[in-house]
């Protein structure tokens, strides 16, 4: 079963670029990096794949610093003919060879006719061992789990895809789209889980997949940590994180006696591995977004389907009318943030939320989206305007009149006033348009 990914278009643009450099694809384990490259290989006359977890392949990079000799050794080892026709060299699991990471720069400088793509997880840990990272000589993108659009693509649901890409969306497609999104929110975006669901059209057989994924991330703790104590703390954090509050405190995390510093180090390691991200709040209402590391962060897991499974709530999600009613709104908030995150392939991107923490006027807005000179507040809610107290506080200070709310309802744009009389426009989006937040905000500002 072959699934098309939106990242393929980025690879095609990279292939045609006159200033092409070796491409490094980053991302957590099992998000589909290797599969993406193997499918992309159909664009080339010759394809060479090396897996640097194999000693035979890793040893090639240890034997010489001369990239031309290295390429000759690769041709000999793989028995693929040396040619001037387009050849894609794929270095999988490149994190296993810091020397190979370092040598990417020489492909750019000496063999620009070889198309080089590398992929790996846990790269942030491997980079600590790289003597000279090839800054400016490679390109990098991050691959995420499937977003909702890719979930529809995997099912070849052409009508739903057409509706998703029609801006603004139309009322008649709402019920069908919300039902598809509901399934996607339960399953999540891990490729293996989506493949299993499409094969048997059932949620029943997904448990073993989630179990294996969670266990794999726990096993990777051996690679994150430098000693046995650190391994135990990371495993504790992985096990207890799903049950933590929306915003976490390091002290007493998971009802443990571990020190704040130890928990912080474990969470930062998992953040680097992209298993779970630490999302810190901002306090500004105008760009730039400056995160406040002194305030309590949220935890954003790699995938909402994995979080649902860890919480054992997938069965209760079936048939609910509004996903906001599940787990006090945390699941739909998590999914929308996952959707927005998947639209950005930069290694530097992280979503942000907004807080104002004062004794009598605390407030919190779920997401901030920077658009040109604006920070657009995005709320993920169930309910009417009267429950938008935090959003009102933001709009009274931000200097523009655009706000967004995602909810279990149809598309609309409302004229709203804060309690103090400040007018603004509120664009209501059905949950399934989380994957299109950037496009809708651009449409909103250009048309209102």
The reply to whether omega before 336 is within 30° of 0 (cis) is: no
User: What residue spans define the domains of the chain?
Assistant: 7-142, 352-447
Question: How far is it, in rounded angstroms, from Cα 90 to Cα 369?
Answer: 35
Q: Output the pTM of the full model.
A: 0.94
Length of the chain, please?
448
pLDDT-above-70 percentage for the chain? 97
Among candidate residues 273, 262, 260, the one with its CA nearest the CA of residue 301: 273
- What pLDDT, on a 0 to 100 scale, did the predictor assign at position 71? 93
pLDDT of residue 133: 67
Q: What is the pLDDT of residue 108?
A: 80
Task: Report which of 343, 323, 320, 347 is spatially closest to residue 333, judged by C-alpha positions.
Answer: 323
| Average pLDDT by stretches of 10, the chain with 448 residues | 92 92 94 96 94 94 89 92 89 92 86 91 75 76 97 96 96 94 97 96 93 91 84 93 93 94 93 93 93 94 96 92 91 96 93 88 92 96 73 95 96 95 97 97 97
Q: Which fold has domain 7-142?
A: Rossmann fold (3.40.50)
The pLDDT of residue 118 is 96
- Write the pLDDT tens digit of every residue in 391-423: 999 999 999 999 999 999 999 999 999 999 999
Residue 434: closest CA among 333, 353, 365: 333
Query: SS3 string of 368-404?
Result: EEEECCEEEEEEECCCCHHHCHHHHHHHCCCCCCEEE
Within a 10 A sphere around the Cβ of 288, how many other Cβ atoms?
Answer: 8
pLDDT tens digits for range 25-54: 999 999 999 999 999 999 999 999 999 999
Given the DSSP bridges, would you call strands 298-301 and 114-120 parallel, antiparallel or unpaired?
unpaired
Strand partners for 168? none
Query: Based on the number of CB atoms within 10 Å of its own CB, is 432 exposed (0-12), middle (13-18) or buried (19 or more)?
Result: buried
- Cα dihedral angle (239, 242, 246, 248), rounded to 10 degrees? 10
At residue 384, the pLDDT reads 56
pLDDT, residue 303, reads: 97
As beta bridge partners, residue 402 has 425
């Amino acid at each position: 079963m072959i699934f098309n990914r939106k990242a393929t278009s980025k690879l095609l643009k990279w292939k045609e670029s006159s200033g092409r450099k070796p491409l490094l694809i980053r991302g957590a384990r099992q998000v589909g990096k290797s599969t993406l490259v193997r499918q992309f290989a159909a664009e080339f006359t010759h394809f060479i794949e090396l897996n640097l977890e194999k000693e035979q392949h890793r040893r090639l990079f240890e034997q010489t610093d001369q990239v031309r000799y290295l390429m000759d050794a690769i041709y000999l080892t793989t028995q693929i003919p040396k040619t001037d026709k387009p050849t894609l060299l794929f270095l999988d699991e490149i994190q296993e060879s810091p020397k190979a990471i370092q040598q990417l720069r020489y492909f750019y400088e000496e063999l620009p006719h070889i198309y080089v793509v590398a992929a790996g997880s846990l790269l942030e840990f491997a980079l600590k061992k790289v003597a000279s990272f090839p800054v400016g000589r490679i390109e990098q993108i991050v691959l995420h789990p499937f977003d909702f659009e890719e979930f529809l693509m995997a099912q070849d649901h052409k009508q739903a895809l057409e509706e998703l890409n029609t801006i603004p969306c139309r009322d008649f497609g709402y019920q069908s789209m919300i039902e598809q999104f509901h399934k996607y929110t339960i399953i999540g975006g891990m490729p293996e889980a989506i493949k299993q669901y499409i094969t048997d059209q059932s949620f029943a057989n997904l448990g073993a997949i989630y179990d294996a994924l969670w266990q794999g991330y726990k096993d990777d703790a051996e690679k994150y940590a430098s000693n046995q104590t650190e391994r135990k703390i990371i495993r504790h954090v992985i096990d207890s994180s799903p049950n933590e509050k929306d915003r976490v405190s390091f002290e007493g995390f998971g009802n443990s006696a571990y020190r704040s510093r130890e928990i912080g180090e474990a969470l930062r390691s998992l953040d680097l591995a992209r298993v779970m991200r630490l999302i810190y709040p901002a306090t500004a209402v105008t760009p730039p977004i400056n995160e406040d590391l002194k305030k309590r962060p949220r935890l954003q897991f790699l995938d909402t389907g994995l979080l649902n499974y860890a919480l054992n709530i997938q069965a209760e999600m079936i048939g609910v009318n509004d996903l906001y009613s599940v787990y006090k709104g945390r699941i739909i908030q998590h999914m929308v943030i996952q959707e927005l995150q998947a639209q950005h392939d930069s290694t530097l991107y992280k979503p942000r939320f907004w807080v104002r923490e004062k004794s009598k006027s605390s407030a919190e807005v779920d997401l901030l989206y920077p658009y040109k000179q604006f920070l657009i507040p995005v709320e993920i809610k169930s309910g009417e305007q009267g429950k938008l107290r935090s959003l009102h506080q933001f709009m009274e200070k931000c200097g523009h009149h655009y706000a967004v709310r995602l909810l279990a309802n149809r598309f609309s744009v409302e004229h709203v006033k804060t309690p103090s009389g400040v007018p603004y426009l509120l664009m209501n989006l059905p949950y399934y348009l989380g994957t299109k937040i950037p496009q809708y905000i651009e449409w909103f500002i250009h048309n209102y």
